[in-house]
Amino acid sequence: RVVAVHSEESPWQLYHKDELLGSYDWLVVTDRNSAQELRPDLADANINMEFKQVNEHVESVKSCTTMIAFDEPLPLPFDGLTFDYNSNKAVMREEFKSLGWAARDSSKPGRGRNNESPECWVLQSNPEEALRLLELDELQGATLPQIREKIREQMVNDFIDCIPTLMAKSGWDDSKQVSTPKIVDSMGHRWGAAFPSFIKQELFKEMECQVFPEQQFVACGDYFGTYAARVEGAFLSGRAAAKEVLKCVGR
């Protein structure tokens, strides 16, 4: 929770419940949903109305994610893939079900595994299947742990089931059996605001961030710029916000 303080030295205070975590010169907001009236994050921040109106133009798309840890590397000849449902939606749903993309997390820089550590994969659903999964009758009124468990179960099964298909499409000899390593751990997650969906994208396409020097407040995120809804867009927006803050403080 952020509180606006009428002080030229440190105009922003950050709280966790009633505990003051610190006083700061600038407020940087990366979550567009912080502007929602039901969120307590910025209720006492007295922020610019222009930022509060963001949610009138940007909605959020839900997603489901799961991480799987295998005791040995998967025999897939790639580290990541996207499932393109625009090619043939019916066939893709039949073969890959809830999956939108998958990535070998252990292939990322600094996350390499040794002989004793597990190999981790991150799975993300496609938007339509995420909505279908979260609207299942059995999940209506379910607790968050129950929802996460259902997501984990569904996405793990979908990924394991499609491994032979992925191997075959990668040139694997069909006469050889595909051996899937043992799963040592897995966890599902409901991502309530995964991607931005624009009502008026043109309002954000031409700017990489919003900066309000008088309030020492800047907003950035994946809904700004020409690479919106992508990691690149979030990175470029954050970098632009940092440059604006440095310009304002004279560095």
Tell me the pLDDT tens digit for each residue of 189-231.
Answer: 998 877 888 776 677 888 899 999 988 999 999 888 888 888 8
pLDDT tens-digit series, residues 33-75: 887 777 778 777 777 778 877 777 888 888 899 999 999 888 8
pLDDT tens-digit series, residues 223-235: 888 888 888 999 9
- By the 8 A CB rule, do 187 and 148 touch? yes
Query: What is the C-alpha separation between 5 and 69, in angstroms, rounded?
Result: 46
Query: What is the C-alpha separation between 241 and 138, in angstroms, rounded?
Result: 43
- By the 8 A CB rule, do 32 and 196 touch? yes
- pLDDT higher than 80, residue 153: yes
Query: What is the C-alpha separation between 39 and 41, in angstroms, rounded?
Result: 6
pTM of the predicted protein model: 0.73
What whole-number percentage of the chain has pLDDT above 70?
Answer: 88
Contacts of 202 (CB under 8 A, 6+ apart): none
